[in-house]
Amino acid sequence: MYDPEVLRSLHVSRYKSEPEIFAAPGRVNLIGEHTDYAEGFVMPAAIDFATLAGISPRDDGKIVIYSENFKEERVFDARSLPKSGSKDWSDYPLGAMVMLAGEGHRIPGLSLSLLGDVPLGSGLSSSAAVEVATALAVTSLVGVDYARPKLARLCQRAENEFVGANCGIMDQFISANGAEDHALLLDCRDLSFRLAPIPANVALVIANTMVKHSVAGGEYTTRRAEVEEAAAVIARHRPEVRFLRDATVEDLHKWGAEMSPNALKRARHVITENTRTVAAADALIDHDLKELGRLMAEAHVSYSQDFEASCVEADTMVMLAHSQPGLIGARLTGGGFGGCTINLVEQGKANEFRDGLAASYASETGIVPQIHVCHASSGAHRVIASLSH
């Protein structure tokens, strides 16, 4: 959905230098919400919304970053990078460079142009796409090649330590490691993963409720603290349980009364969601789309009622999806409190589904949604090599 030639032309016009261009996709999570920081399982897919990064060297010792989306340029001294972010869009690309510098790489003067079509604030991980595209571009420029899981971890650290958002590893990992026509079941404990094929006759329809959210907000922090409270209670009885990944529903029956009511509910979501996520990968591998749809429906109810991270608009969007043609499964995706729903839909009915859902949602809520028919795409990659090479 992006045109690298547009970025190439823009970069050449601005910096009089041919760029190398890299792309990193956004993502949609098919199932597995708020399980990542419990060292559990998630199953995202990279999508055909992406950030493009064009890069070329400079000889004046400056790092110059231009965002076409924001129509703004930022300039930094390559020899004296900031230690922390400044709450600006440039924190995301700059943070990736700071983490690479921390690994012992000298970041040279460079021009970096960014252009993306991942919708901001919709839960499709525009920030991770910027970080991964930047990291891939800069490592190419300095002549190093990181294994993709390692690259993803560096980009996660950029968001945690430089930007100041306490995200898990999923967004950066799928952006770096996604595969065309596949979802990816990721074990957030050891970063092992397996690919689960998405059949050619299944479309990913992403429906934006147009209700914005931010994972840096207080709700995310509160939920995470409640999850950790529940794990700590269980650990008093079972010291081997460091994260809810290691806990069971039986543990909640035994010791749930020692938790706050909210912590008990959050834990029930995380523990059952882990089980559902692994089962959903098995269902995809077995081509059992009916079971996958059932698991997605169950996941949404858990996310809405036990984790209480949905909202009226998202619940409405999911409810209305079930009355549209071709639906396989629907649920709220991403960090919660708004954002997008993911709908798996029969490919031949995807456009009819999109139009019907848009009309129903607008009628029900008075909000005109953005709905995109997507497919699972490859992870970050080089798009155009510099013509000077």
Whether 252 contacts 264, CB under 8 Å:
yes
- Judge whether 171 counts as a catalytic residue: yes
d(CA 255, CA 233): 7
User: Rounded to the nearest 10 degrees, how much is the dihedral formed by the CA atoms of 142, 145, 150, 155?
Assistant: 40
* Cα three-residue angle 144-145-151, rounded to 5 degrees: 115
| Single-letter amino acid code for the residue at 55 | I
Q: Give the side-chain half-sphere CA count within 13 A for 32.
A: 32
Residues 6+ apart with CB under 8 A from 172: 128, 131, 132, 151, 152, 153, 155, 156, 159
d(CA 47, CA 69): 19
Point out the catalytic residue in the list 171, 246, 306, 315. 171
* Positive or negative: CA dihedral 252, 258, 262, 266: negative
d(CA 170, CA 93): 18
How far is residue 11 from each of residues 31, 163, 229, measured CA to CA in Å? 38, 26, 49
How far is C-alpha 109 from the geometric centre of its chain's CA atoms? 30
| Residues involved in catalysis | 171
